[in-house]
Chain A
């Protein structure tokens, strides 16, 4: 059974930093891209960042580029999100998600989220 367990959320002041973790189990962690998706209170879903299975490629939404860093430790089956220069608008539940993919005409297309963690709340406020 695939399980994703986030931790590290909490209250932080504007301009501060926080590191989120996501412990994964139930699948071969290093074989899959992983992602972070967030949801502001009462709002919709926003893709934040993704990382390849090896960790060698990383991708970010424009809203967090230059402030957030995604990484992974495949020896520990753990995904991370380092968040710096936090702003009030970063307040959200942050979900860790496994990225799914399918073969389409000989090409692997990835980008949907087939398993999600329960989320961890980050509140940026003074």
Chain B
């Protein structure tokens, strides 16, 4: 099983500041990496797929980078609606055994 490790567990950021979230895979997942945002009581929402492609309707302040085992999600200027939990997910293996990271909570500083 490919283990996904996210850091930090919690990130305290002031509105308007940049947030940088990390995700590490236990083995290479190429660029087959997605990021999701989840707010309390809601379903997750796809932000990024293919490590760096924004999903439909996702603002440009969200960007993804990386390949292999190291990935980053950057939120360039945090808005109030961005405070949430963020998950990375790899989808590199077939047959599927897709795995998620444990999540990073972005909270208001």
Contacts and interface: CB of A to CB of B under 8 A. Distances in A.
A95 B38 CA distance: 13
B102 A44 contact: yes
Contacts of A95: 43-44
A32 interface: no
Contacts of A115: 46
Contacts of A109: 32, 91
Interface string A51-70: 00000000101100000000
B87 interface: yes
A112 interface: yes
B108 interface: no
A119 B41 CA distance: 10
Interface stretch (B15-23, B47-55, B72-80): B47-55
Nearest to B43: A116
Given A110-B91, A111-B32, A47 B98 contact: yes
A32 B59 CA distance: 26
Q: In terms of DSSP, what is the predominant structure of the interface of chain B?
A: loop
B34 interface: yes
| Range of interface residues on B (Cβ < 8 Å) | 20 to 34
29 contacts: A44-B87, A44-B102, A45-B38, A45-B89, A47-B89, A47-B97, A47-B99, A47-B100, A50-B96, A50-B98, A62-B97, A95-B43, A95-B44, A100-B46, A102-B50, A102-B53, A104-B50, A110-B91, A111-B34, A111-B91, A111-B96, A112-B46, A112-B49, A113-B46, A115-B46, A116-B43, A116-B44, A118-B42, A118-B43
Interface of B: 31-32, 34, 36, 38, 42-46, 49-50, 53, 55-56, 87, 89, 91-92, 95-103
Which 9 pairs across A and B sit closest by C-beta, in order of nearness? A111-B91, A112-B34, A116-B43, A47-B98, A45-B100, A112-B49, A59-B96, A44-B102, A44-B103
Given A47-B96, A100-B49, A111-B32, 8 more contacts: A45-B36, A45-B100, A47-B99, A61-B97, A102-B49, A102-B50, A111-B34, A112-B91
